[in-house]
Structure 1
Amino acid sequence: MRQFVETGLVALDLANTWDEYLAEPERLPDVGALRAFCEELAEPFPSPSPSPSSSSSSLPSPSPSPSPSPSRVLAGRGPSEDDLEAVRAVRDRLRAVLSREPAERTRALARWAEELPIRVTIDEADGAPRQRLSAAEGVTLAERLAVRSVAELLDIAASGDWDRLRLCAAGPCKDAFVDRSRPGKRQFCSTRCANRAHAATSRARRR
């Protein structure tokens, strides 16, 4: 079974959780798989809402316990079926953006960004201010993944690799990848798909 983290970018790894190469393309079949995806990408789950009784209680608060580590925070919470459905919808939108040619992809990305709860923050890098995009407070898991995907795609564009962002040419695979080879002519997402495509071409020639 493939791991979810193959590039470290939600924008690509989420898109590739639908894999036409597999007999069963859906790699997020349930909330357990979504939990595993989030843990691999270090994306925390939404905090559970406090119950009305706990927020309005007049009993004295217990002494604070030590803050749990990030891994324990992830392990103690979990996505819901609603989260799963919403994340799959984000994946569909992401794959629709990635499937376009670079110029139209830019316009599709801009339209998507306008719909998302994005906030702009400024941090420092090498003594200079740097603009960063992040999700607004209190948004859903799917919205956070969408904002993170948009920010990562903008980083890919800023690095000069927008034209090298492609979908695998070895049908039925449509995995997304960034071609960072020197010639910039790579067509396949992996050696697996390259070998499969070359084998299919060789068989066709022998017919």
Structure 2
Amino acid sequence: MVTPLRLPTETVAALDAVVAFATAAADGTLDDAAGLDRAVGSMQYTGARTHDDLEAQQVRDVVPALLAMWDAERDDVPALANAILRTADAAPQLVRHDGIDWHLHAVDAERPLAERIAVETAIAFVDIIRLGETDRCKRCADPRCGLPMLDLSRNRSRRFCSTACQSRVNVAAYRARAR
């Protein structure tokens, strides 16, 4: 029996955050506090924020660990997620705040933002591993892009992170055929 995809809202938010932080790191806009604030945007990270360049550097430095989970084979992800959870002394607890219904927080809200991001991402990967949905974490098929993207399409058919990348590949293919 096939059941429809139903990921918790906070899982999708954490995975979308990986995409946003990886994109910002790749284009060099995660190098200072202002860039981090733009990348965080309307994401609902509760708890302490220093809003300084050191915080931005710590978030930028955690992006490779997040992408390691993103790119790993399904059976390799648990070791990566567990390492993050162990390092942070994570103790999952159900919380409800800011109009968001019950969801998991695994570290204290006063811990550094980069650590909270890593732990929330690890928890999100726990969810998608258990659901067998790790193949929804993809890379853009445009060879000039390769940014991470979350495929929430019904049949897992999404290939590009944006219509710009899709158009660029389609135009290149059209021109190659026309030659």
Same structural fold, with TM-score higher than 0.5 when normalized by the shorter chain: yes
Contact 1:166/1:179 (8 A) holds in 2: yes
Aligned counterpart, 1:199:
171
Aligned counterpart, 1:43:
45
Aligned counterpart, 2:137:
165
Aligned counterpart, 2:149:
177
Aligned counterpart, 1:9:
13
Contact 2:62/2:118 (8 A) holds in 1: yes
**By how many angstroms is 1:8 displaced?**
6.3
- For structure 1, the residue ranges without an aligned partner over 5 or more in a row are 1-6, 48-77, 125-129
Aligned equivalents of 2:172, 2:77: Cα separation in 1 = 30
- For structure 2, the residue ranges without an aligned partner over 5 or more in a row are 1-10, 97-101
| CA pair 134-189 structure 1, distance change in 2 beyond 3 A | same
Q: Deviations over 1:106-134 (max 9, x none)?
A: 4333333332231122469xxxxx88342
Contact 1:18/1:26 (8 A) holds in 2: no
**By how many angstroms is 1:192 displaced?**
2.2
- Structure with bigger helix share is 2
Aligned equivalents of 2:43, 2:166: Cα separation in 1 = 27
Contact 1:38/1:44 (8 A) holds in 2: no
| CA pair 191-83 structure 1, distance change in 2 beyond 3 A | same
Contact 1:12/1:176 (8 A) holds in 2: no
**Secondary structure in 2 matching 1:182:** coil
* CA RMSD after TM alignment: 3.0
Percent identity, please.
Answer: 24
Asked if 1:118 corresponds to 2:90, the answer is: yes
Aligned equivalents of 2:22, 2:12: Cα separation in 1 = 16
Structure 2 residue aligned with 1:34, among 33, 36, 48?
Answer: 36
